[in-house]
Structure 1
């Protein structure tokens, strides 16, 4: 069972994103007075009268446009219409009907879906006479709202939930694996997601910055459920010139926070850069499971040891992320993409792994016997016991006699011994050292 899907469609700049954000209760879509700002479908969760649903905000439809981005936005809206249970067709009540509105209405009538005609930007309680011209679209009685002022939204949502299929009102499975695909602009993040999904759900073009928002795409593989979050590429700060670009970096960081697993995509033809390192660092600092995906490997001219030299350079530059597996892939040809999906599940499981206290202390005891703890001025570090206190990432508290005696090198030794015993591939693990009897902060 899945939630009902509510798709918000319409031509550019009629207030779709404002409506989306108002219902979602937080600023998710980029709202800017510029046509085409919302280029992809943006997902969010909504609730009304104890009915849970997923909303999709789409790029504006321009049926007659030949522009490559506009044509792909149209395709994104078509996919939203195909997958939606209820379609909100938003029009501009101030501007009135346009030829584009009529063409969109023709598309919607062929969809054989529940369509609600939403007339936006009516900021007064009294309905203007101009509202009646929208009956011409042949989509039933218009629902008058002001998304900006929040007027009429309750009446609109009342109508929305009336049209939900009866078997679609549950929340998503909590076991879903959330995967953020992160990296610089134009390294192939959207292409990678499209290859995994087997369909063009995310706009792909060679124009850097095409994906401006973080986009959620739900996907099942066998018995496993995934949410792939395609993020706007994060540029160096000095290159961020537009407000929209600033919003996009915030979306990328938010996507990392929401994710369980981060796939750090690096362009093999460019090598690893300082910006790649910073992006990977965001995932590491947030305690996320991580995979380094070196994309476009098919375009690299190979010589003897090319693979080994590249991997050594990656390991040296990303030394803080030594736990992250590196996979050389091609989103274009699909090389090793299926193996990447298997690896996502492995690192996600490791991110959630719990070690029984007895087993953990056996490993710590063996580690101490093999390598005695350090001492200082005749006082030796004593390790009493350890216990796991958290997951995502796994976190351990180790009780000792004196925190001043716990050298960084010995803490790293203990981590390595635990990793050798339990793996933890793809996930950071965190340690907190407490003196016996010390209370938690």
Structure 2
């Protein structure tokens, strides 16, 4: 990435829509409700041959010191300080508002190069709104439609000019052929090209692939506070208000030379309590983050203990086949720690037997006490999740397990498991070849799963068994009469 581009503006002018357009996929939640974006979001963007680091920001609003609006503004201010070029958007249909004037004045005092963009410029009814923008003192406005991808060519030219004024070569990472090829292409993805997209981690280069770690849990469990403590900066907005995080935010981080992509997610409430469209979008975004992750940390409020909603979240993680670590936050505020630990272990044993041996870590994300134990537990769960068992060793184990406890008969006919093998990792998945797989009860599969966990030391990750009917070489042959 040769430069950084930040998108700023007051709420509901289309910043996230332009962000999705430049990234080429819908990774930021877009809704008519003002103030959907609260934390700054980063991704790789492009316009034709220009490739850059792109930052989406919260809507610029004034508020009292310490208020939510003030914390959102501070996040936007950090994004502007990190950016080489800032795109300030306003709604051309609504025209220039006092809020636009206030923040244009703020941007004029910053060191970043500012490009003024008039969004929602479909049709001729927005001409007056474009002319009004000259009063902002940020130069000539560029009219575009982020929703339909119109005007990206003009934005491309303005970015190149702004970079040249700062002495930055936007093509320093490209050779001449790539530049020439890029200029012949379109200036951005079309509407049909865009969709919610999460890249399968197994499709990426093993040497450069980061460990994908999602932090999930109920609202106000401390997910954003934990990420801020891990990365060592106030990267996420935190506060006493429940539901501050509305969409999944990815943060690149490094732990012990291991690249990690952290995902902060929206709090998950009971489905019956989710009525608003925006919260439904937030929950769907969290579920996509779980599907995208390799390890998931289920964060619990230690003062409240584990509840039914936490168990539902854990079951969802297991059904997606992800490695799980359970973390008890706010441990410093717990009085009877032995009782909380006992209750958690009893509930996990009773309600989540498929995660026998799952790692449980306790800490305080606010003070940092005990947080250093989390990543070693995550690394261990990730290693187990990638475990592979040689076929010969698996079949020796299978023979011993069946000798200790043979598969039950059904209808007077014996069920035989002839052999098996691990067919994939992430999570460990095994295929068993049986003569009557439909007669093999779930209880016996659970017995095999528990034995496999114990004998090969595979605690806390989902294990999957696939039954397949083995071919009988004598089936269909008629016995010859003597």
TM class by shorter chain equals 0.7 to 0.9
Corresponding residue of 2:189: none
The structure 2 residue matched to 1:228, chosen from 262, 274, 277, is 262
Distance 1:3 1:335, change over 3 A: farther
Asked if 2 retains the 8 angstrom alpha-carbon contact of 1:22 and 1:147, the reply is yes
Corresponding residue of 1:402: 436
Cα offset for 1:45? 4.7
Structure of greater Rg: 2
The structure 2 residue matched to 1:385, chosen from 419, 423, 447, is 419
The structure 1 residue matched to 2:322, chosen from 276, 284, 288, is 288
Distance 1:84 1:224, change over 3 A: farther
Matches within 5 A, 1:178-197: 178-197=212-231
Question: 2:330 matched to 1:331?
Answer: no
Distance 1:109 1:348, change over 3 A: farther
Question: 2:78 matched to 1:79?
Answer: yes
Asked if 2 retains the 8 angstrom alpha-carbon contact of 1:42 and 1:213, the reply is no
Asked if 1 retains the 8 angstrom alpha-carbon contact of 2:217 and 2:310, the reply is yes
Corresponding residue of 2:172: 166
Which stretch shifts more, 425-434 or 364-373?
A: 364-373
The structure 2 residue matched to 1:307, chosen from 325, 328, 341, is 341
Asked if 2 retains the 8 angstrom alpha-carbon contact of 1:190 and 1:230, the reply is yes
Q: Deviations over 1:150-205 (max 9, x none)?
A: 32134435655885473499x98652111111111111111111111111111111
Question: 2:46 matched to 1:12?
Answer: no
Corresponding residue of 1:131: 130
Asked if 1 retains the 8 angstrom alpha-carbon contact of 2:22 and 2:47, the reply is no
Distance 1:117 1:243, change over 3 A: same
Q: Structure 1: give runs of 5+ residues left out of the alignment.
A: none
Distance 1:168 1:74, change over 3 A: farther
Paired with 1:180 and 1:31, the residues of 2 have a C-alpha distance of: 21
Per the normalisation by structure 1, the TM-score is 0.87
Which stretch shifts more, 173-182 or 268-277?
A: 173-182
Measured on the aligned residues, the alpha-carbon RMSD in Å equals: 3.1
Cα offset for 1:321? 2.8
Paired with 1:329 and 1:296, the residues of 2 have a C-alpha distance of: 6
Paired with 2:246 and 2:64, the residues of 1 have a C-alpha distance of: 20
Corresponding residue of 1:212: 246
Per the normalisation by structure 2, the TM-score is 0.80
Matches within 5 A, 1:246-325: 246-302=280-336, 306-325=340-359
Which stretch shifts more, 186-195 or 56-65?
A: 56-65
Q: Deviations over 1:117-158 (max 9, x none)?
A: 222122137983653554554544432102234321344356
Paired with 1:86 and 1:322, the residues of 2 have a C-alpha distance of: 51
Cα offset for 1:267? 1.3
Corresponding residue of 2:61: 62
Q: Structure 2: give runs of 5+ residues left out of the alignment.
A: 164-169, 176-198, 473-482
Partner SS state of residue 61, structure 1: coil
Partner SS state of residue 380, structure 1: coil
Cα offset for 1:436? 1.5
Paired with 2:229 and 2:337, the residues of 1 have a C-alpha distance of: 28
Question: 2:64 matched to 1:30?
Answer: no
Paired with 1:202 and 1:25, the residues of 2 have a C-alpha distance of: 24
Asked if 2 retains the 8 angstrom alpha-carbon contact of 1:363 and 1:417, the reply is no
Paired with 1:283 and 1:28, the residues of 2 have a C-alpha distance of: 21
